[in-house]
Structures are given as structure tokens and as C-alpha cells.
């Protein structure tokens, strides 16, 4: 099943899977058409960037991010965990991701299965599996009610009742501001 999911995501398909926090609707972050499709499916405001799941700190380089030593030390302490970290992304080729904000939130999940998928397919956008403004899906049936046959695959992970990730803004000095308190306490 994992190889099948990896193959589908590599081809640009969109699916609903359990993440390290809640069910997410996922697709390749490096495929602009896939990202736009997820915006349409979620009816997401066009100016709100998605959180991007990555398998390693090194993957930040794919987005043109050069970490300071303090930032790298901080990330090595908090990742992998349900902590999403906002970092500056100034490269215009990623406008489709940062939506004019010139920054993106990244998370390295602690879930080994999910990390394995990420190592195979690369960074994934992974917003919660719901229509914007609605309750996040706690079961795969909830997600199917939102998206029906409009996504390419579903992976059932039983009921997930959890909070979203803790969201922080990280400065170049390694200090941070908590923007949303989630499951992980800093």
C-alpha cells in the first residue's frame, strides 16, 4: 500500500491520509497543478499558504532556504514533532505555495510511516482534510463526505481526534513566536 501511495503522489495525484496530527489532504508541494487542485477541493482562500511536510531539514534547501546556525540548532531540537515552523521563502517560483506571503510553514512529522512516504516522494502540502471553515475530518468517512470521488485515493487510519500542530514563526536568531498552540508544548 505504501508503494502504491508513493507512486500516486509522485504522479501528482491527491489523497487523504492520516498525518502526525490529523487527517490531511495531501499532494506534492513541488507540483503547482496538484497544489492548485487542493486549493479548489478545500475551497481555501487563495492567499493562505498550506503547511508543507518534509522528511529532513535538508529538504528546506529545495525551497531556497538557507538556515542560520541558530535556526538549524532550534529545528534539530524540536523536529521531528508536531511543530510547524514559518520560514522566509523569497523565491518567486514558489509564489504558488506562499501566495505572496514570502514565507512558508514546514513540519517534519514524527510518524515513521509518514516520514517514509516523504522520503520517497518529497515534500507534501498537507492541509487538514476538510472544506475551509468546516470541522477537520476525524475519520475517513468524514473526509469522503467532504471530497467524495474528487480525490484520487483515501487511506484509513481509524479515528483521529487530535489538535493541529503548534505553529511558530522562527527568527534568524533562533528565537520564536507561537502563533497557534497545538499538541506540542515548546
- Residue 186 falls inside a structural domain: no
Query: 127 and 24 in contact (C-beta within 8 Å)?
Result: yes
Determine the structural domain holding residue 145 and report its residue range.
Answer: 2-180
d(CA 155, CA 28): 16
Domain at 120, CATH number: 3.90.870.10
Of 41, 16, 40, 39, which Cα lies nearest the Cα of 26? 16
- Residue 56 falls inside a structural domain: yes
d(CA 166, CA 151): 27
Residues in the chain: 186
- Residue 40 falls inside a structural domain: yes
- Whole-model pTM? 0.94
- Residue 60 falls inside a structural domain: yes
Query: 176 and 74 in contact (C-beta within 8 Å)?
Result: yes
Segment holding 112, helix H or strand E? helix 112-121
CA dihedral 48, 60, 117, 138 (to 10 degrees): -30
- Residue 18 falls inside a structural domain: yes
How many Cβ atoms from other residues are within 10 Å of residue 180's Cβ?
12
Residue 61 burial by Cβ neighbours in a 10 Å radius (0-12, 13-18, 19+):
exposed
- Residue 26 falls inside a structural domain: yes
Q: State how many domains the chain has.
A: 1
| pLDDT tens sequence for the chain (186 residues) | 567 999 999 999 999 999 988 899 999 999 999 999 999 999 999 999 999 999 999 999 999 999 999 999 999 999 999 999 999 998 889 999 999 999 999 999 999 999 999 999 999 999 999 999 999 999 999 999 999 999 999 998 888 877 788 999 998 888 899 999 988 888
* CA-based radius of gyration for the chain: 15
- Residue 107 falls inside a structural domain: yes
- Residue 103 falls inside a structural domain: yes
d(CA 165, CA 61): 22
Amino acid at each position: 500500500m505504501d508503494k502504491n501511495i508513493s507512486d500516486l503522489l509522485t504522479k501528482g495525484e491527491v489523497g487523504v491520509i492520516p498525518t502526525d496530527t490529523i487527517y490531511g489532504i495531501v499532494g506534492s508541494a513541488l507540483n503547482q497543478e496538484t497544489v492548485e487542485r487542493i486549493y479548489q477541493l478545500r475551497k481555501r482562500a487563495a492567499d493562505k499558504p498550506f503547511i508543507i511536510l518534509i522528511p529532513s531539514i535538508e529538504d528546506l534547501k529545495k525551497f531556497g532556504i538557507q538556515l542560520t546556525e541558530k535556526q538549524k540548532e532550534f529545528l534539530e531540537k524540536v523536529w521531528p514533532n508536531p511543530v510547524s515552523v514559518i520560514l522566509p521563502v523569497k523565491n518567486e517560483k514558489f509564489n504558488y505555495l506562499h501566495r505572496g506571503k514570502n514565507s512558508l510553514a514546514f513540519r517534519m512529522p514524527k510518524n515513521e510511516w509518514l516520514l517514509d512516504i516523504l522520503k520517497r516522494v518529497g515534500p507534501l502540502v498537507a492541509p487538514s482534510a476538510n472544506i475551509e471553515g468546516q470541522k477537520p475530518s476525524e475519520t475517513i468517512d468524514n473526509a469522503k463526505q467532504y471530497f467524495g470521488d474528487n480525490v484520487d485515493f483515501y487511506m484509513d487510519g481509524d479515528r483521529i481526534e487530535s489538535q493541529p500542530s503548534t505553529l511558530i514563526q522562527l527568527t534568524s536568531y533562533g528565537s520564536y513566536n507561537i502563533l497557534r498552540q497545538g499538541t506540542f508544548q515548546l
